[in-house]
């Protein structure tokens, strides 16, 4: 353990002596306060805060990721190239201890820098309202929609398998199955259609959805219904009039007498854009079973559909902004740990420039993995097939950084649960990073140190 | 070198040469496509600020990647309903692609149309902010960097005409009020002499301060109030205009300075200069072009048909005309051009705006007192909000007609029959509507003139009848299919409309609506047998019902409704007497029922 610790300390010292590390640190120290002052977003206080947090955290994350890659690769390749490793390898230190020490050093450096810069971002975020003299309305909006952590509950998963099978057999018997589609494709399409049908509301009708386990921290607070309308026929003004009834399921469904109030308002919102309605948290009954009912006003004259993925969710305050921020920073740290292990792996068998290139390709692919995978669907069928069986599985093996992107949560004040953090830790650190480390250890153990690598 | 390595090297070199050759062969085609789509950025940006020039050059080949990343982010955020970054992203994208007109057009449209409607209509001020962001992006940046792109002028004109001037947005009245309030302080008496003065005033700050008296005024203001002390030209003008509109926000010494110079040529000169400066530099409206448009498209003075009055620059369609015409003037510099669909659509926007000014070009801004305190025990706080009503302006028909005829002449080409025919259809329908409107409002000679023109240009069977018959046929078409109950509703609605216009002192239009109501009533008296006539009440009763409707209609401010009663009592005592008589009868009936 002492050897590992000694290597780690030396790695940190080596990194701090690197000019590029100093450049990145100075750049962030200058840019973060400048961004805090210059970023205006849409001009409102909430817009400023969202823009600053989004760009501030993203910039910090990208620069630290790049620094991690460079430091982790350089620390080993420079030792190999300059033959300094001979003086270390000949000591009573195992090869795995050397690698683990290097990794530990990089991780500790990341922790120090991450703590420093996240503290700067947090301070600027918390103190920003003092510099802009916002109105009371802006303060209230920011308190409810930014300086908070809102848990999201979606409607329960719809089970339409029985219906789908019936429809499939009916089509099969009538010889109406599409010939160019496989069984799984047909079932998938039928399932999607059936599920959307369950989320569609005709004019004059009501769609009640039940959300279980809704537990707001404070009944005097608010909760938010986040939704997006899609329509069969676009109205002339692209807006939908909807009556929203939120409260105890027993009252809404059966008209029974209840203790909690009911929220019942009519709103008009545009289609195909996400909106939020604020509802008092006191409407949530004691058993946590909240019913959200939407009535499609007859004036709309079109069927309203709530998309399956992001059509409807209930948001309620589950934690503070500070707690959420800490968890967001942990997500960044996991990313850095993965990249550190990747850098160690690359440097174990590649030269410096090749290892950097290798790591950067993996890093950018992991960052845009969702976009890349979605874009395959828009290629021609043959090309799409080729990519789906070759590149797609490889991309799916990589950690999907955009899925665990902290700004995706902090900007709309979405709660990052400890379960999510644990999931990210298990996937990125305990599985993928450990795997990379084991491979690196294996390669390095059998590596011919004195061999020249081009 | 080993044989294996040599073979690999040779194959790589051959492959590289082949691929490079193929790429080179495609280059000419790609460059011609880029030229066609106006994507060439070889020419340096004209008059671009250094930061912009740096941004477009410094990134080199990575500019395309950065732009793609920004577009992806903008689209993702839009899907998620997050608009906090939309304006910033639009600015960056347009900085990196300043010569790509479609980018400016898209970003402006996105802000003005998509983002604004994502905000609930209960926050019209927030919606207006995004509509403003959209058109300011085009007006202040897009057009100045792409002065020859007619697409941008067209889009800007369209935002004014459709988004602000139209009725599809729930908050359209708010937009109209805001635009009117912005323009009103700058228009002075809004007569031809005023616009003449605006064109003749110096255009630069250095020129105006050469006048000793004006320099004295400026020095006095600088000494009187801190905000004037170190202000540059732009800030000085802004603060001066704010001082003139809202003196209470400034120190008493500044107000005293203005009072001291009141009535002097120095203040008058500077006042005109400040307004022209603001129009030119902030709103990007050139007074010279404004005056030209007044002379070409301004409403005619009925007492002297050769004279054009100024356009009402509070109206969004006036701005649509300005930007549309400006774009058309730019493309017209290229004489041997082929008329593109964009140019045709810009022509359409200009004539449609003129049509809109005819249909509802008269603006009535009305103060509405709003009680803000909810606690009735406290002294209620009152503030005044503005509401806007738009009504027809018959004086705009001639400018519209002349402009339309010019556009028809321009598009009279064998290769453009489709556009020509659709323009003709629009013109013909407009003439028919105009004839009917002039006829109903009592301008028979004007209606006859237009009718003669209609017959000459479009010799169709339906126009081979006298004017009175044409008007009656047209009237019958409007009423066709209406049952007796619908007729009662229509009469009451027309009467209510006439009372509303009477309350606004738009007497011509009020008289027209009342006359039309009477004609509908008389028509049904003639057409239907006695047993049905019982269901159609007498006209005085319908007048009473319409008046009650109007007085009980919450959409009209209470003081507007009360003003009407007062006016009726003084100016239409016979109507008031009829009203009184039925009130008395109804009251007696009610007492008997009890």
Tell me what ipTM this predicted complex has.
0.72
What mean pLDDT is predicted for residues B274-286? 95
Residues A356, A284 share a domain: no
Residues A239, A325 share a domain: no
CA distance B324 to B310: 18
pLDDT value of residue B315: 96
CB atoms closer than 10 angstroms to residue A319: 18
> Contact at 8 Å (CB) between A65 and A362?
no
Q: Who contacts A351 (Cβ-Cβ below 8 Å, separation ≥6)?
A: A77, A81, A453, A454
Q: Using the beta-carbon criterion (under 8 Å), do B168 and A237 form an inter-chain contact?
A: yes
CA distance B580 to A32: 75
Please indicate whether residue A51 or residue B508 has the higher confidence score (pLDDT).
A51
**Rounded to 5°, angle at Cα B130 from B72 and A311:** 55
Mean residue pLDDT of chain B comes to: 83
Q: Using the beta-carbon criterion (under 8 Å), do A41 and B84 form an inter-chain contact?
A: yes
Residue A210 sits at φ, ψ, to 5 deg, of: -105, 130
- Identify the residue among A40, A42, A244, A312 best suited for mutation to test binding to B, counting B beta carbons within 10 A and taking the highest: A42
Say yes or no to pLDDT of B40 above 80. no
CA distance B109 to B90: 11
Q: Using the beta-carbon criterion (under 8 Å), do A50 and B117 form an inter-chain contact?
A: no
- Identify the residue among B76, B84, B163 best suited for mutation to test binding to A, counting A beta carbons within 10 A and taking the highest: B84
CA distance B6 to B3: 5
Q: Using the beta-carbon criterion (under 8 Å), do B84 and A236 form an inter-chain contact?
A: no
pLDDT value of residue B590: 52
CA distance B449 to B327: 33
Q: Would you say how long chain A is, in residues?
A: 454
What mean pLDDT is predicted for residues B191-218? 91
Which CATH number among 1.10.3210, 1.25.40, 1.10.3470, 2.60.40 corresponds to the domain B60-168? 1.25.40
Which residues in chain B touch residue A275, judged by CB atoms under 8 angstroms apart?
81, 118, 120
CA distance B491 to A218: 58
> Contact at 8 Å (CB) between A201 and A304?
yes
Each residue of B130-188: pLDDT tens digit?
A: 999 999 999 998 998 889 899 999 999 999 999 999 888 888 989 999 999 999 999 98
In Å, how far are A36, B85, B360, B379, B436 from A124, measured between CA atoms? Answer: 7, 18, 51, 42, 66
Tell me the residues of A at the B interface, defined by beta carbons under 8 Å apart.
39-44, 46-47, 50-51, 54, 228, 236-239, 267-270, 273-275, 310, 371, 411-412
**Rounded to 5°, angle at Cα B455 from B452 and B457:** 105
Say yes or no to pLDDT of B42 above 50. no
pLDDT value of residue B588: 62
Say yes or no to pLDDT of B577 above 90. no
pLDDT value of residue B380: 52
Residues A333, A390 share a domain: yes
Closest CA to A224 of A161, A317, A116, A309: A317
Locate all alpha helices (DSSP H) within B480-554, ordered by sequence: 484-503, 507-527, 530-533, 539-552
Residues A7, A92 share a domain: yes
What SS3 class is residue B491? Answer: helix
Q: Tokens 């009573």 — which residue?
A: A92
What SS3 class is residue B372? Answer: coil
Residues A129, A207 share a domain: no
The edge-to-edge listing of strands for the beta sheet with A312-319 is A149-153, A312-319, A222-228, A274-280
Q: Residue B54: which pLDDT band, with cuts at 50, 70 and 90?
A: low
CB atoms closer than 10 angstroms to residue B165: 25
Question: Does A190 reside within a domain?
Answer: no
Give mean pLDDT in consecutive 10-residue pieces for chain A, a chain of 454 residues. 89 90 91 86 85 92 94 91 81 87 94 95 91 81 88 85 88 83 85 88 90 81 89 83 90 81 88 86 88 90 88 88 94 94 92 92 86 69 67 76 87 90 89 91 84 60
Closest CA to A80 of A448, A357, A404, A335: A448
Question: Does A434 reside within a domain?
Answer: yes
Each residue of B114-135: pLDDT tens digit?
A: 888 877 777 888 899 999 999 9
- Using the 3D structure, point to which of A275, A304, A319 is the last residue of a domain: A319
Say yes or no to pLDDT of B533 above 50. no
**Rounded to 5°, angle at Cα A74 from A69 and A78:** 170
Question: Does A241 reside within a domain?
Answer: yes
Say yes or no to pLDDT of B532 above 50. no
Residues A336, A294 share a domain: no
Question: Does A360 reside within a domain?
Answer: yes
In Å, how far are A155, A247, A284, A290 from A250, measured between CA atoms? Answer: 17, 9, 12, 9
CA distance B82 to B69: 17
Residues A128, A42 share a domain: yes
Q: Who contacts A288 (Cβ-Cβ below 8 Å, separation ≥6)?
A: A212, A213, A214, A215
What SS3 class is residue B74? Answer: helix
Q: Using the beta-carbon criterion (under 8 Å), do A268 and B120 form an inter-chain contact?
A: yes
Residue B48 class from Cβ within 10 Å (0-12 exposed, 13-18 middle, 19+ buried)?
Answer: middle
Residues A209, A236 share a domain: yes
Dmax over Cα atoms in chain B, in whole Å? 124
Residues A383, A267 share a domain: no
- Identify the residue among A146, A229, A270 best suited for mutation to test binding to B, counting B beta carbons within 10 A and taking the highest: A270
Q: Residue B46: which pLDDT band, with cuts at 50, 70 and 90?
A: low
Each residue of A24-79: pLDDT tens digit?
A: 999 999 999 998 888 877 778 888 899 999 999 999 999 999 999 999 999 999 88
Residues A290, A351 share a domain: no
- Prediction pTM value: 0.71
> Contact at 8 Å (CB) between B390 and B363?
yes
- Using the 3D structure, point to which of A301, A319, A337 is the last residue of a domain: A319
Residue B380 sits at φ, ψ, to 5 deg, of: -65, 135
Element (H, E) at A294: strand A290-296
- Using the 3D structure, point to which of A319, A344, A375 is the last residue of a domain: A319
What SS3 class is residue B298? Answer: coil
The edge-to-edge listing of strands for the beta sheet with A230-231 is A200-201, A304-305, A230-231
Q: Who contacts B327 (Cβ-Cβ below 8 Å, separation ≥6)?
A: B150, B152, B153, B154, B157, B346
Residues A326, A287 share a domain: no
Q: Who contacts A113 (Cβ-Cβ below 8 Å, separation ≥6)?
A: A25, A64, A67
Q: Which two tokens stand for residue A59?
A: 């910039």
What mean pLDDT is predicted for residues B55-59? 64
Closest CA to A328 of A114, A142, A153: A114
Closest CA to A420 of A436, A410, A411: A410
Q: Using the beta-carbon criterion (under 8 Å), do B120 and A39 form an inter-chain contact?
A: no
Which residues in chain A touch residue B168, judged by CB atoms under 8 angstroms apart?
236-237
Q: Residue B405: which pLDDT band, with cuts at 50, 70 and 90?
A: very high
Q: Which two tokens stand for residue A78?
A: 């420079």
User: What ranges do the domains of chain B cover?
Assistant: 60-168, 188-298, 481-594
If phi over 0 gives left and psi between -120 and 50 gives alpha, with beta otherwise, what is residue A206? beta
Closest CA to B393 of B322, B301, B307, B296: B301
Per the structure, the count of domains in chain A is 2
Q: Using the beta-carbon criterion (under 8 Å), do B120 and A275 form an inter-chain contact?
A: yes
Residues of the domain holding A274: 201-319
DSSP A240: E
CATH number at residue A280: 2.60.120
CA distance B347 to B332: 12
CA distance A166 to A143: 50
DSSP B264: S
Question: Does A149 reside within a domain?
Answer: no
Q: Using the beta-carbon criterion (under 8 Å), do B83 and A239 form an inter-chain contact?
A: no
The lowest-confidence range among A74-83, B61-70, B261-270 is B61-70
What SS3 class is residue B119? Answer: coil
**Rounded to 5°, angle at Cα B90 from B89 and B95:** 95
Q: Would you say how long chain B is, in residues?
A: 594
Helix axes B316-332, B287-297, angle to 10 degrees: 100
In Å, how far are A267, B79, B265, B313 from B119, measured between CA atoms? Answer: 12, 14, 48, 28
In Å, how far are A54, A239, A334, A367 from A110, measured between CA atoms? Answer: 20, 48, 10, 19
Say yes or no to pLDDT of B230 above 60. yes
DSSP B44: P
Which residues in chain B touch residue A44, judged by CB atoms under 8 angstroms apart?
84
Each residue of B349-370: pLDDT tens digit?
A: 999 999 999 988 888 887 776 6
Dihedral sign, Cα of residue B64, residue B70, residue B73, residue B79: negative
Give the distance from residue B14's alpha carbon to the nearest chain A alpha carbon, in angstroms: 24
Question: Does A39 reside within a domain?
Answer: yes
Closest CA to B285 of B198, B176, B155: B198
Which residues in chain B touch residue A128, judged by CB atoms under 8 angstroms apart?
none
> Contact at 8 Å (CB) between A65 and A336?
yes
Residues A120, A22 share a domain: yes
- How many Cα neighbours within 13 Å face the side chain of A191? 13
Say yes or no to pLDDT of B281 above 90. yes
């Amino acid at each position: 353990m002492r050897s590992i610790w000694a290597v780690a300390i030396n790695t940190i010292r080596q990194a701090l002596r690197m000019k590029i590390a100093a450049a990145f640190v100075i750049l962030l120290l200058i840019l973060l306060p400048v961004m805090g002052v210059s970023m205006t977003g849409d001009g409102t206080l909430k817009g400023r805060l969202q823009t600053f947090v989004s760009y501030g955290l993203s910039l910090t994350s990208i620069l630290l990721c790049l620094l991690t890659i460079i430091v982790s690769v350089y620390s080993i390749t420079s030792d190999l190239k300059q033959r300094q490793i001979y003086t270390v390898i000949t000591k009573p230190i195992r090869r795995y201890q050397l690698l683990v020490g290097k990794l530990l050093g990089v991780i500790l450096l990341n922790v120090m820098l991450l703590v420093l810069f996240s503290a700067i971002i947090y301070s600027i975020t918390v103190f920003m309202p003092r510099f802009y003299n916002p109105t009371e309305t802006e303060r209230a909006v920011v308190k409810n929609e930014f300086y908070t952590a809102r848990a999201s509950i979606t409607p329960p998963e719809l089970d339409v398998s029985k219906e789908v099978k019936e429809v499939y057999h009916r089509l099969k018997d009538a010889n109406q199955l599409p010939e160019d589609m496989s069984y799984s494709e047909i079932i998938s399409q039928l399932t999607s259609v059936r599920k959307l049908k369950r989320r569609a509301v005709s004019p004059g009708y009501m769609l009640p959805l039940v959300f279980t386990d809704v537990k707001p921290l404070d009944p005097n607070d608010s909760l938010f219904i986040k939704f997006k309308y899609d329509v069969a026929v676009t109205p002339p003004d692209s807006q939908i009039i909807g009556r929203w009834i939120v409260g105890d399921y027993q009252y809404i469904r059966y008209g029974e007498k209840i203790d909690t109030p009911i929220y019942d308002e009519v709103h008009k919102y545009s289609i195909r854009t996400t909106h939020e309605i604020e509802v008092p948290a006191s409407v949530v009954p004691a058993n946590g079973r909240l019913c959200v009912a939407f009535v499609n006003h007859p004036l709309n004259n079109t069927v309203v559909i709530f998309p399956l993925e992001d059509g409807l969710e209930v948001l309620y305050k589950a934690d503070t902004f500070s707690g959420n921020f800490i968890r967001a920073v942990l997500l960044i740290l996991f990313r850095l740990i993965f990249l550190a292990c990747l850098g160690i792996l690359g440097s174990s068998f590649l030269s410096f420039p090749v290892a950097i290139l290798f790591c950067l390709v993996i890093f950018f692919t992991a960052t845009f993995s969702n976009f890349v995978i979605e874009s395959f669907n828009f290629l021609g069928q043959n090309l799409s097939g080729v990519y789906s069986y070759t590149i797609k599985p490889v991309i799916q093996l990589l950690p999907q950084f955009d899925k665990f992107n902290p700004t995706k949560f902090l900007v709309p004040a979405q709660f990052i649960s400890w379960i999510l953090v644990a999931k990210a830790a298990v996937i990125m650190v305990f599985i993928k990073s450990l795997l990379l480390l084991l491979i690196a250890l294996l390669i390095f153990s059998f590596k011919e140190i004195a061999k020249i690598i081009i | 070198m080993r044989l294996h390595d040599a073979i690999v090297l040779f194959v790589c070199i051959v492959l590289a040469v082949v691929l490079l050759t193929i790429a080179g062969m495609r280059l000419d085609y790609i460059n011609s496509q880029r030229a066609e789509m106006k994507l060439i950025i070889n020419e340096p940006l004209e008059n671009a600020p250094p930061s912009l020039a740096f941004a477009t050059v410094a990134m080199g080949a990575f500019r395309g990647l950065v732009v793609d990343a920004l577009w992806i982010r903008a689209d993702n955020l839009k899907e998620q309903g997050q608009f906090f970054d939309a304006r910033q992203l639009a600015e960056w994208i347009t900085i990196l692609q300043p010569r790509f007109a479609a980018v400016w057009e898209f970003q402006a449209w996105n802000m003005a149309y998509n983002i604004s409607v994502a905000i609930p209509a209960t926050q019209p001020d927030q919606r207006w902010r995004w509509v403003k962001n959209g058109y300011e992006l085009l007006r202040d940046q897009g057009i100045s960097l792409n002065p020859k792109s007619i697409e941008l002028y067209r889009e800007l004109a369209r935002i004014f005409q459709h988004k602000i001037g139209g009725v599809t947005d729930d908050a359209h009245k708010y937009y109209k009020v805001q635009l009117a309030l912005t323009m009103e302080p700058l228009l002075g008496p809004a007569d031809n002499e005023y616009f003449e003065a605006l064109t003749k005033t110096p255009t630069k700050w250095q020129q105006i301060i050469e006048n000793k008296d004006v320099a004295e005024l400026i020095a006095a203001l600088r000494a009187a109030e801190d905000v004037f002390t170190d202000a540059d030209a732009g800030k000085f003008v802004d603060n001066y205009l704010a001082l003139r509109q809202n003196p209470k926000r400034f120190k008493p010494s500044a107000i005293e300075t203005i009072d001291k110079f009141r009535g002097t040529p120095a203040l008058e000169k500077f006042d005109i200069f400040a307004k022209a400066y603001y129009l030119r530099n902030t709103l990007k409206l050139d007074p010279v072009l404004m005056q030209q448009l007044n002379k070409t498209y301004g409403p005619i003075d009925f007492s002297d048909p050769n004279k054009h009055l100024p356009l009402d620059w509070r109206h969004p369609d006036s701005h649509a005309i300005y930007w549309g015409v400006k774009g058309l003037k730019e493309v017209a510099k290229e004489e041997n051009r082929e008329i593109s669909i964009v140019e045709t659509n810009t022509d359409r926007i200009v004539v449609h705006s003129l049509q809109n000014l005819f249909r509802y070009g008269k603006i009535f801004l009305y103060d509405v007192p709003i009680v803000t305190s909810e606690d009735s025990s406290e002294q209620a706080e009152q503030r005044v909000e503005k509401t806007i009503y738009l009504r027809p302006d018959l004086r705009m028909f001639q400018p519209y007609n002349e402009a339309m005829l010019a556009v028809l002449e321009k598009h009279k080409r064998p290769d453009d029959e489709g556009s020509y025919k659709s323009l003709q259809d629009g013109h013909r329908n407009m003439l028919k509507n105009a004839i009917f409107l002039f006829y109903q409002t009592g301008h028979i000679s004007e209606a006859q003139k237009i009718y003669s023109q209609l017959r000459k240009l479009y010799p169709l069977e339906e126009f081979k009848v006298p004017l009175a018959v044409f008007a009656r046929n047209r009237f019958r078409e409007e009423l066709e299919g209406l049952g007796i109950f619908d007729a009662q509703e229509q009469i009451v609605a027309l009467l209510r409309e006439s009372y509303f216009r009477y309350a606004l002192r738009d007497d011509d239009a009020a008289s027209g609506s009342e006359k039309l109501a009477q004609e509908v009533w008389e028509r049904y008296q003639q057409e239907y047998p006695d047993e049905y006539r019982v269901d159609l009440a007498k006209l005085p009763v319908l007048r009473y019902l319409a008046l009650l409707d109007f007085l009980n209609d919450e959409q009209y401010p209470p003081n507007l409704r009360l003003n009407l009663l007062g006016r009726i009592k003084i100016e239409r005592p016979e109507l008031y007497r009829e009203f009184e008589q039925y009130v008395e009868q109804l009251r007696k009936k009610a007492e008997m029922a009890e």
